[in-house]
Chains A and B, each alone.
Chain A
């Protein structure tokens, strides 16, 4: 079985000449259906870079990013945008909510853009807002919510609908320990139901909900804990 997400020897260099920054240096990474993988590492080690590449929000300087068997580079801008609306849920480190839309509208937006009727999209949005524990805030605007509440709206937006790949960049940074754990329970449940999850976090306690924990440092994978799922071991010709 192939991985839902596959980064193959990926390098990302920002800028050039003396200001050149190697954010990732030849990273190979895989995440399978049903698997939650955590990425940890010091600030600046390349975690967000890895996630934006996986989500098709950025393109690698070298190497390939393959989602659901499709090379994102071959997909083109429009194709990547469609994939982001339908198959990829992304929780941004800085939430990225649309200020002019309410919580429910923010969550419903990707479904509506994808052609779902607004009533159905709102219903789905309300259901996930309930799951993240803020059903009563559906009609509030982002600037009327606390940081932790906004973060939960951002999470709801990323998990609404049948996303096969959920990418979350520090999704618990603004949450207290108990609420953070509820969010991990939610991500874990989505993965147990067949989604693929990648979670960037500074908190080992949250990373421990993952099947595997990958440690990045200076743009390189330095260590990994936890077992690969059995089917990954059967993948021929793909060394870790």
Chain B
């Protein structure tokens, strides 16, 4: 995940200190991709080194406040106008697990698929409950809307996973049927020849 660009984008709203940035980030994205404060400060240090943010000094409570620089603004603009790269898909444990399950002997792929589908469905039900209740249900403010859209993203990803599992199950079942038919056909061959 692009912590760097996300923090820069938040600083477009106005100067903030590290803890504030973390809170603002999580208001929009829930605790889906938790940021620890340490990570925020390390990133801010790097951004300052690269001239994308500048320290504004210390506020009354002793927090170091950062503001975005012009170079930082350019970086944010570039981020928003460039599509997220899809050339290298993130490692997908489930796809890898299934790829191995169909090839390693002795694994009941049907059960692997069924268990995963139930687990993913439970997660999907949880996301949907979050959508029905709380901030996401009636997104009045922009950051409620942001959170609601993030939930939608989780929903669509889980749904895609379930569709893919259904698809795998159907394909594997068809492959088994085809194999059985082929076996019957081949078993029938010699008799044909003998006639």
Q: CB within 8 Å of B: which residues of A?
A: 42, 185, 188, 203-205, 207-210, 213, 215, 222-226
> Interface residue count for B (Cβ, 8 Å)?
19
CA distance A42 to B165 in the complex (A): 12
Contacts of B120 in A (CB 8 A): 204
- Asked if B172 is at the interface of the complex by the 8 Å CB criterion, the answer is no
Contact between B124 and A208, CB atoms less than 8 A apart: yes
CA distance A205 to B127 in the complex (A): 10
Q: Which of B114, B117, B125, B170 contacts A208 (CB 8 A)?
A: B125
Residues 123-166 (chain B) with a chain A CB within 8 angstroms: 124-125, 127-128, 132, 155-156, 158-159, 162-163, 166
Q: In the complex, what's the smallest C-beta–C-beta distance from A229 to chain B, in angstroms?
A: 14
CA distance A205 to B121 in the complex (A): 9
Contact between B118 and A223, CB atoms less than 8 A apart: yes
Contact between B118 and A208, CB atoms less than 8 A apart: no
Q: Which of B125, B128, B159 contacts A225 (CB 8 A)?
A: B125
Q: In the complex, what's the smallest C-beta–C-beta distance from A88 to chain B, in angstroms?
A: 25
Contacts of A207 in B (CB 8 A): 121, 124
Interface majority SS on B: helix, strand, loop or mixed?
helix
Q: In the complex, what's the smallest C-beta–C-beta distance from B15 to chain A, in angstroms?
A: 37
Q: A213-B121, A225-B121, A225-B125 are in contact. Are A204 and B114 (CB under 8 A)?
A: no
CA distance A122 to B124 in the complex (A): 38
CA distance A223 to B166 in the complex (A): 13
CA distance A222 to B121 in the complex (A): 14
Nearest 9 Cβ contacts at the A-B interface: A208-B124, A204-B162, A208-B128, A205-B159, A225-B121, A225-B118, A204-B159, A208-B125, A225-B122
Known: A205-B128, A208-B121, A222-B114. 12 other contacts (CB 8 A): A185-B132, A188-B132, A203-B159, A204-B120, A204-B121, A204-B124, A208-B124, A208-B159, A213-B125, A215-B114, A226-B122, A226-B125
Contacts of A210 in B (CB 8 A): 125
Contacts of A223 in B (CB 8 A): 114, 117-118
Q: A42-B170, A204-B159 are in contact. Are A215 and B117 (CB under 8 A)?
A: yes
CA distance A185 to B128 in the complex (A): 11
Residue of B121, B128, B132, B163 contacting most chain A CB atoms (<10 Å): B121
CA distance A226 to B119 in the complex (A): 10
CA distance A207 to B159 in the complex (A): 10
14 A-B residue pairs with Cβ-Cβ distance under 8 Å, sorted by A, are A203-B159, A204-B120, A204-B121, A204-B163, A205-B124, A205-B155, A205-B158, A208-B155, A210-B125, A213-B121, A213-B125, A223-B117, A224-B118, A225-B122
CA distance A185 to B133 in the complex (A): 11
Contacts of B155 in A (CB 8 A): 205, 208
CA distance A113 to B156 in the complex (A): 42
Contact between A208 and B166, CB atoms less than 8 A apart: no
Q: In the complex, what residue of chain A is closest to B122 when comparing beta carbons?
A: A225
Q: In the complex, what residue of chain B is closest to A207 when comparing beta carbons?
A: B121
Contacts of A42 in B (CB 8 A): 166, 170
Q: In the complex, what's the smallest C-beta–C-beta distance from B7 to chain A, in angstroms?
A: 31
CA distance A209 to B159 in the complex (A): 13
CA distance A226 to B155 in the complex (A): 16
CA distance A204 to B163 in the complex (A): 8
CA distance A224 to B118 in the complex (A): 7
Contacts of A204 in B (CB 8 A): 120-121, 124, 158-159, 162-163
CA distance A207 to B170 in the complex (A): 20
CA distance A42 to B163 in the complex (A): 11
